[in-house]
């Protein structure tokens, strides 16, 4: 990588434990350039005043015995102190046999310095000191600004690091001890007070509260958490206090894994990055060849003074520094990875992310992605005049209140929504495979399946069946059928919007499910998808993907990690969906924290935007050279249009800043 010497520090910044030590190292680098810049600036002022060329232009004269030697001494300080990062960089690049930007800058300033020293000791010609000093000054400024923007790109990662509180309240018997977060291990019991950050991944043992997980998942709405719910380290607790059993030590926590994923993704080189590196290498060779050719042309062919030829050479070499090119891709990578992490898209494989723009077909695993993956009450139907919907739910919830069954949780959720007080029950009895019965407020109540009605020859109500995607339970009061509740794995409200966005981008969406064809068809039709595969067993998913790939489709597969692993690996892009446990879905290139299908659409749009930014930056970084290089070489010399080395350095630094600003303008387009 051409910009290895300086910019790789942006990568180092996360190598240390949890990133902090590396961050300090990067900050020291930025401060070092800043200090060198200011000291060089102070010394450059007297150098300018003592330079004969400047005096000639501005019609003043400062000359005294030994002024030339003072000029030489000051310039020598600037060359060695201000130019040191570049000279060191030259040594590093030669050692690695990778000629790059540092080589160019070092060659340019060394040529300028050596020639100027020679003029002081008798070589005919005018010295080059003021140009040397301004050149180094502008180079330092360019590096300083650029490193600050690189630091900015890594800052989101630092923010993730800072989400983890350093201390935790550990419960030991009756006592609460303050311990360091990184000493927590699985099975420890901790207390999370209101307003505090959660210190470790865990399961709530006691208490309930609303937690803000936005920094981890991109979801802005606080999420209600009750006993037995999982919570993620780094989320912010609301007003309730919680006792939590730790499920992972801090280094294995969800947040640490996110940080590691982001860090790894920023370090892995993508194809575009390799393209940029190649371009930078070519540009380095072009710069050196063009620089020396320019020198020999003006000196030997055009018979111009050596100082003029040297000035052209230095300007050409400086202007060609592949600074902007070296930054074009890494900055976009750093920013896009951090932004993605904040929006619940974790990029494990950079190439997969950049290839998101090529997707032609997305396969959705139904449960939990397009649907909520949990039963919700879809309809309540009363069959007797004196009992309303609320009453049916109130009575059914009494029987279901102690069950963990998905149907039970759906009914209880509805009772809470209706704000009904759930009555207590007695004589509870389970009717194996058919339902449950109990006595509620002196009445005999049964909540049963259609099978129970058939068995007991109770007439099924007319056209009760609804859609095939529903599960129905009947409520019987004192042996009289009172009504029924239809539950369904509800389609997420965001699914239709996500599918529509995909269609707008000419991407087909297919449903892949183990459910029967009727359920699959009803979901596929409702969402206006392009088709479905139903009753597919886990090992057949891979075959379906291969079939599509053989037809020339570029396939992305979304799945929840476990039984989908082979299919995720087979797909051109594997997207693992669902938080926490499956973050390590090793086979997926991208992990979505939420199970929200809109995130998949966002991912594709963001992948396209990121790629576009990289290409824009590459075009800008190489394109400006096409215009600047001939100007620097003196093509328009006849018309008195020339670029000075300092002006060349300004243009070079400016191109770098344009690239940095362009990268900073990258945004996650939300489909929401």
* DSSP secondary structure letters along 362-373: EEEE-TTTTEEE
d(CA 480, CA 482): 6
Question: Which is catalytic among the residues 188, 365, 560, 582?
Answer: 365
d(CA 434, CA 423): 22
Residue 476, CA atoms < 13 Å, CB-side half-sphere: 21
CB neighbours of residue 206 within 10 Å: 12
Contact between residue 570 and residue 556 where contact means Cβ atoms under 8 Å apart: no
Rounded to 5 degrees, φ, ψ at 48 are -60, -45
Q: Apex CA 273: angle with CA 268 and CA 277, to 5°?
A: 120
Residue among 278, 285, 275, 233 nearest 254 (CA): 233
Asked about 252 being catalytic, the answer comes back as no
d(CA 104, CA 90): 8
Q: What does R_g of the chain's alpha carbons equal in angstroms?
A: 34
Contact between residue 335 and residue 666 where contact means Cβ atoms under 8 Å apart: yes
Contact between residue 8 and residue 151 where contact means Cβ atoms under 8 Å apart: no
Q: Apex CA 295: angle with CA 293 and CA 301, to 5°?
A: 85
Contact between residue 458 and residue 480 where contact means Cβ atoms under 8 Å apart: no
3-state secondary structure of 220: coil
**How far from 660 is each of 224, 331, 546, 614, CA to CA, in Å?**
40, 7, 41, 11
424, 428, 430, 434: CA torsion to nearest 10: -60
| Residue 489 host element (H or E) | strand 480-491
Place of tokens 């539950």: 487
Catalytic residues: 365
């Amino acid at each position: 990588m051409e910009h290895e010497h300086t910019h790789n520090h942006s990568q180092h910044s996360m190598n240390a434990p949890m990133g902090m030590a590396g961050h300090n190292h990067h900050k020291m680098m930025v401060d070092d350039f800043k200090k060198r810049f200011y000291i060089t600036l102070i010394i450059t002022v007297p150098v300018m005043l003592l330079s004969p060329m400047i005096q000639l232009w501005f019609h003043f004269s400062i000359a005294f015995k030994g002024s030339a030697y003072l000029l030489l001494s000051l310039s020598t300080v600037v060359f060695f102190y201000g130019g040191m990062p570049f000279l060191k960089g030259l040594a590093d690049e030669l050692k690695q046999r990778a000629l790059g930007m540092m080589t160019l800058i070092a060659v340019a300033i060394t040529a300028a310095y050596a020639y100027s020293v020679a003029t002081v000791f008798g070589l005919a010609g005018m010295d080059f000191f003021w140009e040397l000093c301004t050149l180094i000054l502008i180079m330092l400024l360019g590096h300083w600004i650029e490193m600050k923007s690189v630091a900015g790109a890594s800052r989101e990662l630092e923010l993730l690091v800072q989400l983890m509180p350093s201390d935790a309240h550990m419960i030991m018997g009756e006592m609460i001890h303050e311990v360091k977060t990184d000493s927590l291990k699985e099975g420890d019991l901790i207390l999370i007070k209101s307003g505090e950050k959660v210190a470790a991944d865990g399961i709530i043992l006691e208490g309930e509260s609303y937690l803000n997980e936005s920094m981890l998942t991109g979801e802005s709405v606080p999420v209600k958490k009750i006993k037995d719910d999982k919570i993620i380290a780094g989320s912010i607790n609301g007003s309730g206090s919680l006792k939590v059993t730790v499920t992972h030590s801090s280094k294995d926590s969800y947040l640490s894994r996110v940080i590691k994923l982001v860090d790894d993704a920023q370090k892995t080189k993508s194809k575009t990055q390799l393209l940029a590196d190649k371009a930078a290498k070519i540009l380095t060779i072009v710069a050196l060849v063009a620089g020396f050719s320019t020198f020999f042309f003006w000196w030997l062919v055009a018979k111009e003074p050596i100082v003029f030829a040297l000035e052209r050479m230095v300007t050409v070499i400086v202007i060609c520094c592949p600074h902007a090119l070296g930054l074009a891709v890494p900055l976009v990578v750093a920013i896009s990875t951090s932004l993605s992490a904040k929006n619940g898209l974790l990029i494990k494989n950079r190439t997969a992310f950049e290839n998101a723009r090529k997707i032609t077909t997305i396969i959705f695993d139904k449960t939990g992605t397009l649907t909520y993956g949990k039963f919700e009450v879809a309809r309540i139907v009363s069959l007797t005049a004196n009992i309303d919907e609320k009453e049916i739910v109130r009575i059914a919830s009494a029987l279901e209140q102690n069950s963990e069954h998905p149907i039970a949780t759906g009914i209880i959720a509805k009772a809470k929504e209706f704000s009904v007080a759930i009555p207590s029950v007695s004589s509870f009895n389970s009717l194996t495979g058919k339902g449950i019965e109990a006595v509620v407020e002196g009445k005999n109540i049964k909540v049963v399946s259609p099978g129970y009605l058939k068995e007991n020859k109770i007439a099924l109500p007319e056209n009760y069946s609804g859609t095939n995607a529903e599960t129905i339970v009947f409520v019987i009061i004192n042996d009289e059928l009172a009504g029924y509740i239809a539950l369904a794995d509800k389609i997420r409200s965001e699914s239709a919007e996500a599918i529509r966005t995909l269609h707008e981008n000419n991407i087909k969406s297919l449903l892949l499910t183990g459910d029967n064809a009727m359920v699959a068809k009803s979901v596929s039709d409702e969402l206006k998808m392009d088709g479905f595969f139903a009753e597919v067993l886990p090992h057949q998913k891979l075959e379906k993907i291969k079939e599509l790939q053989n037809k020339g489709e570029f396939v992305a597969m979304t799945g929840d990690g476990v039984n989908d692993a082979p299919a995720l690996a087979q797909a051109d892009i594997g997207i693992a969906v669902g938080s926490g446990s499956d973050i390590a879905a090793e086979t997926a290139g991208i992990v979505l924290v939420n199970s929200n299908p809109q995130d998949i659409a966002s991912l594709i749009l963001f992948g396209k935007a990121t790629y576009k930014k990289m290409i824009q930056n590459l075009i800008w970084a190489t394109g400006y050279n096409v215009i600047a290089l001939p100007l620097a070489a003196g093509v328009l010399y006849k018309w008195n249009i020339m670029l000075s080395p300092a002006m060349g350095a300004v243009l070079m630094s400016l191109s770098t800043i344009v690239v940095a600003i362009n990268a900073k303008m990258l945004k996650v387009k939300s489909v929401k």
